[in-house]
Amino acid sequence: MVPVCGGVCARRLLPMVGASRAPLLLALSRARCSQAGCTGPAGPGRGPNIKRRGYDITRNPHLNKGMAFTLKERLQLGIHGLIPPCFLSQDVQLLRVIKNFEKQSNDLDKYIILMTLQDRNEKLFYRLLTSDIEKFMPIVYTPTVGLACQQYGLAFRRPRGLFITIHDRGHIATMLNSWPEENVKAIVVTDGERILGLGDLGSYGMGIPVGKLALYTACGGVNPQQCLPVLLDVGTDNEALLNDPLYIGLKHKRVRGKQYDELMDEFMQAVTNKYGMNCLIQFEDFANANAFRLLNKYRNRYCTFNDDIQGTASVAVAGLIAALRITKNKLSDHKFVFQGAGEAAMGIGHLILMAMEKEGVSREDALKKIWMVDSKGLIVKGRSHLNHEKEMFAQDHPNVDSLEEVVQKVKPTAVIGVAAVAGAFTEKLLKDMAAFNERPIVFALSNPTSKAECTAEQCYRITQGRGIFASGSPFPKVTLPNGQTFFPGQGNNAYVFPGVALGVIASGVRHISDEIFLITAETIAAEVTEQHLAEGRLYPPLDNIREVSLKIAVKIVDWAYKHGLASLYPEPADKETFVRQLMYSSDYDSFVFDEYRWPPTAMETQYI
């Protein structure tokens, strides 16, 4: 079908996209079409003051609007003739992208389509994501981003973010100067050692910071030009990558110890020197040993958090708080068994402790309600080689080797899987949970989907619909033989980190405490309605995630000013309006020059 030009209305698009798209067309149009044509939200306000002209405009994703440039813009910017003689609204462009997206046969190809769009037209990319976040988030982030990272050498099209290597020590400040944006507010950094549940992917891990920051914008409204993805390449211990001629990272074993720590120290200092003390630095997918160590080392010196530890904790506790409205009791009335004792488990455990203490329970009593199982069995007092984090949760109990046996002996009300051991929640374990509890809580939080401890269908079927289920990756709705239909809740960290980032940036918080993540968990849980709970949802629908992020940010801003932790003054009187005004819009800017005339007499030329 030939593209439709010249400010088309929705009715003229039906032949191109099919009648089934009619409701979508009505939603997309948003009253942009007028008798004069669909020219987008230019209005009287002027767009950014741009100094570029000509070909550079069409190659800059921040500025490029493709065929949405008006004729006047094309002439003034010197790009007339570089774009086909066709004028499209953003709505029409969106439908063209969706049509192309849906033609792809697999998720990796869909991922490449979206990343190519991000490289070409940033506004349209974010308009696409926000048009159906539930549909597109699994492509730009979990679970597809895991596959994309594994295939990063093949999927690589155009560099995004900053690659800093162990050989760049002493010169990181110079490397930061290579980044074209000066006003960076948020950085997501990884060293690629523990990507999702996939292990060491080295420099292929760059897909994670890129995907994460895309959700900062799509879900939280953080300006993408204020975001910087960073990959710290210190090598890889993945033999397959070291022997792969297409691998795009350093081809040697990981550098550890003093050199690694010096690189990290220099990076943190260089970032704050250039972008300020309140530049947010989010650690992502570091291996357990480094994750805890670096968080403890830097959390009180820089504006930083670890999403695998604190973000996962917040979204898990949000699900538990929502579940309490089903079980009709308090968090301290529950007993938790964790499959896994790594970053996520420790983060969740600590935040559960904080929430129980808020209910008035002593820390000593709260610790007795949290049981953790790692690869060697139940974590108990006296077991050798326990690190500090595990030692805190060690129980005074004989050794127990298997998760199934732990569940039988402890009789928990909730099992939480965060070890990326696929199928760990066996049929026997789920039957036992259903036997011990009227409403057993089952959180299979491992990513990607292939690593989930059980599926939503298994949980609901085996517990006869009584299970309260949440997962880390999305599962389709489940209909039981009795006709009950459930929409599994996805405990995705995207409910947490975009709102936290927006709130931290808005208030200028310089140190991010665990209290922020408990506030976030409570805010998310408060957005879950009784109808959601009846459908099996423990989280608000992803379609509402931008509003949820706004509410989280407002709560954080309010908390920061009340506790004297904000660094931006004066304090805004209307904090919601203040935060909302900071949020990025995917609507196109107008690049028409600000033209005006003086009175004719004032413009008269004087002659001799």
C-alpha neighbours within 13 Å on the C-beta side of residue 89? 25
Provide DSSP, 537-595.
Answer: -SS--GGGHHHHHHHHHHHHHHHHHHTT---SSSPPSSHHHHHHHHS---SPPP-----
Cα–Cα dist 280/230, whole Å? 13
* The two structure tokens encoding residue 355: 């929430």
Among 141, 275, 302, 584, the one annotated catalytic = 141
Contact indicator for 565, 516 with CB cutoff of 8 Å? no
Cα–Cα dist 535/533, whole Å? 5
C-alpha gyration radius of the chain: 26
* The two structure tokens encoding residue 466: 């009584």
Contact indicator for 254, 193 with CB cutoff of 8 Å? yes
Among 110, 212, 369, 575, the one annotated catalytic = 212
* The two structure tokens encoding residue 303: 């504006």
Q: Cβ–Cβ contacts within 10 Å for residue 1, how many? A: 8
Catalytic residue flag (residue 607): no
* The two structure tokens encoding residue 63: 């500025």
Cα–Cα dist 94/100, whole Å? 10
Distances 592 to 45, 203, 582 between C-alpha atoms, Å: 10, 41, 23
Q: Which residues contact 439 (CB under 8 A, 6 or more apart)?
A: 326, 327, 466, 467, 468
Q: Which residues contact 381 (CB under 8 A, 6 or more apart)?
A: 394, 395, 396, 397
Provide DSSP, 184-238.
Answer: --EEEEE-SSS-TTS---GGGGGHHHHHHHHHHHHHH---GGGEEEEEEE-----
Cα–Cα dist 583/571, whole Å? 18
Provide DSSP, 9-64.
Answer: -HHHHHHHH-GGGHHHHHHHHTT---TT----S--SS--------THHHHT-TTT-
DSSP 3-state assignment of 441?
strand
Q: Which amino acid is present at 247?
A: Y
The number of residues in the chain equals 608
C-alpha neighbours within 13 Å on the C-beta side of residue 92? 29
Q: Is the dihedral of CA 157, 133, 185, 189 positive or negative?
A: negative
Q: Which amino acid is present at 117?
A: L
Contact indicator for 556, 520 with CB cutoff of 8 Å? yes
Catalytic residue flag (residue 212): yes
Q: Is residue 114 exposed (0-12), middle (13-18) or buried (19+ Cβ within 10 Å)? A: buried
Helices (H) and strands (E) in the chain, counts: 27, 14
Residues with catalytic roles = 141, 212
